[in-house]
Every structure is written in C-alpha cells, then in structure tokens.
Chain A
Amino acid sequence: MRIRPGLWCSAAFVAVLVAMAAFPALFTAADPDAADLQATFAPPGGAHWLGTDENGRDLYARIVHGARPSLLIGIGAVALALLGGVAVGVASARLGRLADQVISRSLEIVLSVPWLLLVFLVVAALGPGSGPAVIGLAITSLPGFARVARAETIRLRAAPFVEAARGFGWSGAQVVLRHVLPNTLGPVLALATVSLGAMIVASSSLSFVGLGPQPPTAEWGAMLASSRQTLSVAWWPAVFPGVAITLAVLAVTALGRELHGRVEGRSA
C-alpha cells in the first residue's frame, strides 16, 4: 500500500477544517463580527493577517468562523442524500420490476434538471434559508447514491452468504439489515466523500446568490458576494474566502478518490 504525501496533506487539512468548524476560538481570538470603521480595507499583514473587509472586520477570523456554516450545509445535504438514496436504491432492487422501473424513471427526471435550478425550485416553494438549501441539494445528489445502492444490492443478491442466510430461513428484511446494508456501506461512503466536495461548492454558490445563511453570518460564499461590490477597491476580500473553498474541495475530493480507489480494489 503506497501512501502519497498529497494524501497526508489532504487528510491534515480536512482535520484542521473540522477543528475550525468545531472550535473556532482555538484558531483566532478576534471577533468575526466586530466592525472597526477606523480600519476598513486594511491590506493583509500586521494586525490583520489576511486584511479587513468593507466594515473593518478581520478576514482571517471571518474565514475561521465561516468554516462551520460553510461545511454544515454540505455535510447535511450529503447525509440526507445518503440516507434517502440508499433507501430508494435498496427498495428499487428488492420490490420487483414495476417499482424498479418507476424509481429509475423518477431518478432520471431529477437528473434532467440542472442542480441549481432544482434547488431554486425547492427554495421558491419553501422559502430561503439553510433548511430548504439542504433539502434541495440532497434531492440533486440522491440519484447517485440510489444507483450505487441498487447496483450493490443486485450484486449481493447472488452472493453465497446471502443465499445461505435465506437458506437458514431469514426474512427479506433481516437479510437487508444484516448483510446488504453493511456491504453497500463502503461504496456509498466513498461516493459521499467525493460528493461532499461538490456540495461545498454548491452550498457556497447558494450563499453567494443570497439564498443561504443571511449576511451578518460569516460564510465563505456570502463573504465573496459582498466582496463583489468593492472589487475595484480591494482584492483581498475577494481572494481569501475563495482560497478556503478551493482548498477544502481539493482536500475532500482527494480523500474521496482514495477511498473510492480502495473500495474498487476490494470488490474487484
């Protein structure tokens, strides 16, 4: 088993992000919402490592405190999509041909609409906020999980240990709970990690257009949105939150690909 240095950097960065989201006070003593109108648009360096924004708020503190809202929507959406997708996928594989057909066609409908418009539809129906954003993003990534869970369930149907369990007189539900679900876990978790990268970009895009957490909250996408108004004055508020998003996506995606590679290697 070869361990690449890039992978260790990714794992370390993800660990730092999780720590930032859980305990932001460990990383900065500054208040992310403290305005200082004497120090608006202070360039990076000195008292403010990454400079200040249009209200004189410290950008480093805002990025640290922004980790939690920025990551939570993505994690919530992936968790919801995983639960729903696995349920739908297993049902599709076990409830007979008609159910399979209906479910597969329905998933195709979801896939035929660009994710952003689908989320817009949910937000337009339920109103803006983090909850509808999570639901909308979960719906857009549910088909992927359903497909993986369905394929794994069908593959396991012919596995010797599943036949043996049935030979012992286990019910269908028991077989699903004890054998099918634990075995789908690997591929599904690998997909979840890869999807998390996409969900971080997606949720920051939503905040950028004003449909995520509302302004005073430090959130990476929302910070970039307000920096757009002052782009001709200062570049730093438009750069550092984006660096945070990009690094988070790169690190999470690298971990997901590694996980995916190992799961593939195991089942092949």
Chain B
Amino acid sequence: MAGILKTVPAGAEAPAGTGRIARLAAVRLAGSLAVLWGAVTVTFLVVRAAPGGTADVLLARSTVSPEIRAQLIAEYRLDDPLPTQYLTYLGRLARGDLGDSYALRRPVADVIGAQLPDTLVLIAATLALTVAGAILLAVAGARRRPWMRAVFGSAESLMAALPPFWLGLILLSVFSFTLHWFPAIGDSSPRGLFLPALALAAGPVAVVAQVLREGMLRALEEPFVLTARTRGISEAAVRFRHVLRHGLTPAVPLLGWITGSLIGGAVIVEIVFSRQGVGRLVLSAVQNKDLPLVTAVVLLAAVVFVVVNILVDVLNWLIDPRTREAT
C-alpha cells in the first residue's frame, strides 16, 4: 500500500494539504456526530418502547413484592418523565457510562471490553485477507478475453452467494474434522484464526474484486497505460504500479462499508467456531433481553462505522488527487 501511495505528487504543497485533510475530517466528524446522536436517541426509544417496560424486563425471572419493585424503579429512576430520563441517559453516555447489564449485573463497558480484543483480531485478520485476496483476484482476472472474465465472474458470484456460517461449517468439516489441519473449535490461537477469517472474508473478497477489476479494466484502456508499455516496463508493473491505483478509488469506500458490516458477520462466525468475542456476548444478551448490553454493542458498531467512513474519505483523498478539488 505504501508503495502505491508514495507516488502522490504532493511534495512542496504538503503543509497546505495536511490543513485541508484536517478540515475534511472536521466537517465529516460534525456530520457523523449527528448520526451518532440519532442512533443514541433511537436506541433509547427502543428500550423504553419495549413491551412490558424496563421494570418488568429487570424483574423478568422473579416475582417480587411491590416494595422491591418500587425500590428498583427509584434506583433506575424509571418514574422520571421521559425527557428527564433521556437527558440523564445522554449525560451518562457522554461520561462514557454505558450502564449495567441486566443479566450479568456488571458494567456493560467492562463486559464488552473483556470480549472486544478477540473480535477485533478476527475483523483485522478478515480485512487483511479481504484486501490481499481481492487485489490478487482482480489483478489476475483483469483480462479482456471474454471467457476468462466469465470464469472469474461466475466464481465471484458463487463466493458472494455463500452464507458465511455455512462456509464456516464446510471449512470446519473438511479442514478440522477430516484433514485435521486446523484446530476444531473454541481455539483462540493464530492457527485457529485462519478458518473463521476465511469464512468471513469470502463474500467481501468477491465483491471488492469485482469493483476493483471493473475499475482496472477501465484504466487499462487509458492512454497512460500505452505510454507506460512503450517505456518497456513489464505487464505486472503496469498492473500493480499504474492501473491498480485507479481501481482502488471505488473499492476503498466499499471496503469501509464492509468493515462496518463485519461486526455483524463476526457475530455469526464466532458462534459457528465457538470463539470468544462480542458476537457470542451479544447473542446471549438478545436471548436474555439484556437491552443495555445490546444497545451498547449497537452504539459501538455505529461508532466504528462513523470512524471508518472518515478514514475512507481521508484515504481516498490520498489515493486520488482529483477528489481534492472538491474540498
């Protein structure tokens, strides 16, 4: 990646460039905060609108005397008017207090924090696999012969249609139970990371490779490719040094969107492979109707989405000088 970015003809105007990056980031940040505030408001309303009310959810597994019920309502301030509750909720969130899990009776932030590293490692491995796989597949498949394009296109359609959880099951069945190449389930070592990341990356690889290749095929028609070829550089150099960068412009926003959705995909794959992580945590929270925990994970995902989108804008600004005119 660094090799591609190094050829940016910035040099002398770098100081002005960093200033504009900062401004771009600031504008996007303001818009993103609005989205996050909306997400917070919606989750607050969902929790309050849940049938039975919060007190009933808290007492889900027990019948208690009216005194204890009243005590609980006072403790969680459930008798305040809705706007007051809302402001209290916003204030607590602003201080980083996500509340206590109903089911686990522990602060939500601690519970999530303990499971987050495993999920982040899985997502990072998946992203690395996606980028490497998509670039290889796109560079290899960017040919003008129709039948080769048809072969790559069909393979990618199939990869995109495979449900990740089923692919995970098949990989487990073949590589763990039949060939014994990889540890079966519940393993957190790097070896145990490969199959889950592969199951999760197959769909994104196919989608990103398609977009990347379309961009590369367009760029291969450009005059600068002919110029580069007449200089006598190899075909691989044409593809990796010149054409790939043009294909990256539409692929980077897509990759950003995929990163956001991987948090959802990780949930399923963690369950298939019995891995520790936020996925299994949030699933058990859903089964227990543990709304503070579920809403916290939803908000966390929204924050990740927003941050990744800002990074995508900055990255595109670096890759494609043409987008700088607009800012």
Contacts and interface: CB of A to CB of B under 8 A. Distances in A.
B169 A242 contact: yes
15 contacts: A112-B305, A114-B260, A115-B264, A116-B268, A117-B264, A117-B282, A121-B43, A124-B286, A127-B51, A201-B161, A224-B169, A228-B272, A235-B173, A249-B163, A254-B157
A231 B177 CA distance: 8
Nearest to B260: A114
A214 interface: no
A28 interface: no
A246 B162 contact: yes
B285 A124 contact: yes
B271 A112 contact: no
Contacts of A224: 165-166, 169
Contacts of A109: 35, 38-39, 42, 302
A121 B46 contact: yes
Interface string A107-137: 0110011111110111111111000000000
**Ranked 7 nearest A-B pairs via Cβ:** A114-B264, A116-B264, A242-B166, A125-B50, A109-B38, A249-B161, A124-B294
Residue in B34, B162, B306 whose Cβ sees the most chain A Cβ within 10 Å:
B162
B157 A253 contact: yes
B261 A114 contact: yes
Residue in A112, A115, A201 whose Cβ sees the most chain B Cβ within 10 Å:
A112
Interface residues of A, number: 44
Residue in B261, B264, B283, B295 whose Cβ sees the most chain A Cβ within 10 Å:
B264
B43 to A, nearest CB: 7
B200 interface: no
Interface of A: 105-106, 108-109, 112-118, 120-128, 197, 201, 204-205, 208-211, 221, 224, 227-228, 231-232, 235, 238-239, 242, 245-246, 249-250, 253-254
Interface in B277-327: 282-283, 285-287, 289-291, 294-295, 297-298, 301-302, 305-306
Contact of A121 (B158, B294, B306): B294
Contacts of B301: 112-114, 117
A143 to B, nearest CB: 13
A205 B294 CA distance: 18
B259 to A, nearest CB: 10
